[in-house]
Amino acid sequence: MIHQYNSSSKNPVTINEGHVVARNKINNVQNDLLSRFGIKTYQAKVREKYMSNKQLGHFKKILLTWKSQLETEADKTVNHMKNESTSYADPNDRASQESDFGLELRTRDRERKLLKKIQFSLKKVENGSYGYCEETGEEIGLERLEARPVATLCLEAQERREIKDKQYSEGDDYLR
């Protein structure tokens, strides 16, 4: 455990060492995502129940806005590739265009996978299981969900998974 001062209140906060970086990362990502969508950070009431209807509505709005934005970008890519697809005589120009299209397609493929996660999260909102860790059943937390609305694991479970994945991937080095 380490003690760290919260910059907004100047009060010491005890945080596990591994969570300091994660907490800063969550706050930065949270601000980027919500500000991009023009959505304010959710301010929970003092005794508000976790994943109340109001909270579920907040996250549903985030997920639907994100989904809409990704679908719009996918449509733009399709139109761009249809309209900008030119058969260049110069091999360098053709290679450059193919490289650009390849990059766009890889980006859209990642976004397609993200859309599936968003759909899954929206289903969880509807059935009331959104916001709870799939591994432990614990609350994922409002901050983490605002930073990563498609999160299915609490921070501790995610860290355990990443450590485990890293250990297994490091063991594969001898195969290369």
Q: H helices of 40-172, where?
A: 53-84, 91-127, 142-147, 155-171
Domain 2-63+114-175: what homologous superfamily? DksA, coiled-coil domain (1.20.120.910)
Q: What is the pLDDT of residues 11-58, one digit of tens each?
A: 333 334 444 444 444 445 555 778 887 888 888 888 999 999 999 999
Q: What is the pLDDT of residues 136-163, one digit of tens each?
A: 999 999 999 999 999 999 999 999 999 9
**Residues, the chain, total?**
176
Angstrom CA distances, 138 to 61, 77, 168, stand at 23, 39, 26
pLDDT of residue 110: 92
- State both tokens at 78: 């399709």
